[in-house]
Amino acid sequence: MAHLPSSTIGRIYVVILVAAAIPLLIWVGVTLSGPVVWLSLGIVTFLVTAILLRRRQLEAARERAYDPTLGFTNVVARMRADNALADEQRAEQRAGRTASNDA
């Protein structure tokens, strides 16, 4: 979403852009005064609004589903723990094989 700039020059620039856009929008509105044009502009406006609302819903869902434990350091620590456990299991299996071979 757009926000008002924090600098004075940025605010002046925004005011100038708005002052230039208002007469342009009035001119376009008078020029495009047919009902088909207004209907199509209404449909486009509706679709853009629907897309933006859907995007906000998806972003909110992603934020709710975010799991901070899935960071890179946590993944590396989890992989190391899994590898250590697998090494221990392999060592136990080898020890079991040698014990059964000795008997």
**pLDDT tens for residues 63-95?**
888 777 667 777 788 889 999 999 999 988 888
Per-residue confidence (pLDDT) for residue 43, from 0 to 100: 93
Residue 21 in contact with residue 29, Cβ under 8 Å? Answer: no
What is the arithmetic mean of pLDDT over 1-12?
A: 80
The share of the chain scoring above pLDDT 90, in percent, equals 32
Query: What is the reported pTM?
Result: 0.41
Q: How confident is residue 56, by pLDDT bands cut at 50, 70 and 90?
A: very high
Mean pLDDT of the chain: 84
Rounded (10°) CA dihedral 32, 35, 40, 42: 100
Q: Where do the structural domains in the chain lie, given as residue ranges?
A: 67-103
